[in-house]
Amino acid sequence: MNNNLKDILSESNKDIDNQQLMDYLSNHLSQADTNDIEKTMANDVFINDAVEGLQQFKLSGNLQLYAEQLNNDLQKQIEKNKKRKDKRRFKEGPYTYFAIIIILLLLVICFLVLRRNSHIAAPINKPITGLQIEKGLTKNT
């Protein structure tokens, strides 16, 4: 039996082996093993429903072909989602780092220029003394 089918059924139940289940469906088991599986099916409703579903599925066509088709569709969907995530992801490159460095340098230069101009533009206001008024050193005269 192909391993792709086993991948689909992996860890689906703990009571019965997947290979045994597939052998039961294809009538490749001994009478004792068949009886054991049927006893397990009688005790567990989930396994019973799974076997009935697989039997109906098997009657409608080739089970192996469906399993391969499911795996191929799953691989295509995973690849499509991976491409979509790659498009959304931020791609790093040397130009990004170069642009960040240039922007930071421009910000530092702007800060220094503004700081220097603020010291020149804002004169220090000293209180006017009576002596300056007598000599006419005020701005109003």
Percent of the chain with pLDDT over 70: 65
Same domain membership, residue 26 and residue 39: yes
CA atoms within 13 A on the CB side of 43: 8
Read off the pLDDT band of 103 (50, 70, 90). Answer: very high
9-13, 71-75, 76-80: range with lowest mean pLDDT: 9-13
Of 90 and 112, which is predicted with more confidence?
112
Mean pLDDT over the full length of the chain: 75
Of 96 and 7, which is predicted with more confidence?
96
Using the predicted structure, report yes or no on whether residue 65 has a pLDDT greater than 70: yes
Of 64 and 3, which is predicted with more confidence?
64
Mean pLDDT of 84-110: 86
Instruction: Name, of 36-45, 95-104, 118-127, the range with top average pLDDT.
Output: 95-104
Mean pLDDT of 49-56: 79
Residue 137 lies in a domain: no
Distances (CA, A) of 58 to 63, 64, 70: 6, 9, 15
Residue 66 lies in a domain: yes
Same domain membership, residue 106 and residue 63: no
CB atoms under 10 Å from CB of 24, counted, come to: 22
pLDDT of residue 124: 58
Residue 34 lies in a domain: yes
Same domain membership, residue 100 and residue 66: no
Residue 69 lies in a domain: yes
Residue 43 lies in a domain: yes
Same domain membership, residue 83 and residue 103: no
**Interacting residues of 68 by C-beta distance below 8 A, sequence separation 6+:** 2, 4
Of 67 and 94, which is predicted with more confidence?
94
Residue 139 lies in a domain: no
Same domain membership, residue 108 and residue 73: no
Distance CA 112, CA 61 (A): 78
pTM exceeds cut of 0.85: no
Phi, psi of 51, rounded to the nearest 5 degrees: -65, -45
Domain of residue 107, residue span: 92-124
Distance CA 43, CA 121 (A): 92
Same domain membership, residue 15 and residue 61: yes
Q: Residue 68, exposed/middle/buried by CB under 10 A (0-12, 13-18, 19+)? A: middle
